[in-house]
Amino acid sequence: AQSVTQPDIHITVSEGASLELRCNYSYGATPYLFWYVQSPGQGLQLLLKYFSGDTLVQGIKGFEAEFKRSQSSFNLRKPSVHWSDAAEYFCAVGAAGGATNKLIFGTGTLLAVQP
């Protein structure tokens, strides 16, 4: 069965520091992988996605993620965090061959940014 694991429930970083949020997935075929962000009081917004090709993908707001098939991982990174990045981040996996656009979401990582 498909699943997504985000091992870090809560992370605190200082403003200007680098960030890496971990995501591991379980899926038998080629997955589609996504990172979404939820700012306080808002719905989710797509940060970036991986379908195929270059395993390093760039997203909005200066985020990037790297797909590593051997590790079943799709970690999100940002070289320098801004206070406005404080939010909850969700990794998701979708079925590459699926007929619908269903996603399986991880449990989320809540990011706090210290001044």
Partner 1 sequence: DVKVTQSSRYLVKRTGEKVFLECVQDMDHENMFWYRQDPGLGLRLIYFSYDVKMKEKGDIPEGYSVSREKKERFSLILESASTNQTSMYLCASSPTGKKGTQYFGPGTRLTVL
Residues that bind partner 1 (CB under 8 A): 6, 9, 32, 34, 36, 41-46, 49, 51, 90, 92, 94, 96, 98-103, 105-108
Min dist. Cβ of residue 108 to partner 1 (A): 5
Instruction: Using CB atoms within 10 Å of the CB of residue 18, give its burial: 0 to 12 exposed, 13 to 18 middle, 19+ buried.
Output: exposed
Q: Which is nearer to partner 1, 49 or 77 (CB)?
A: 49
Give the nearer residue to partner 1 in terms of CB position, either 38 or 73.
38
Of the pair 31, 81, the CB lying nearest partner 1 is at: 31
What is the nearest approach in angstroms of partner 1 to the Cβ of residue 21? Answer: 14
CA distances for 88 relative to 41, 45, 77, 97, angstroms: 11, 11, 14, 28
Rounded-to-10 torsion of CA 15, 110, 63, 93: 170
23 versus 113: smaller Cβ distance to partner 1: 23
The strand pair at 10-14 and 109-114 is best described as parallel
CB of 99 to partner 1, least distance (A): 8
CB of 61 to partner 1, least distance (A): 16
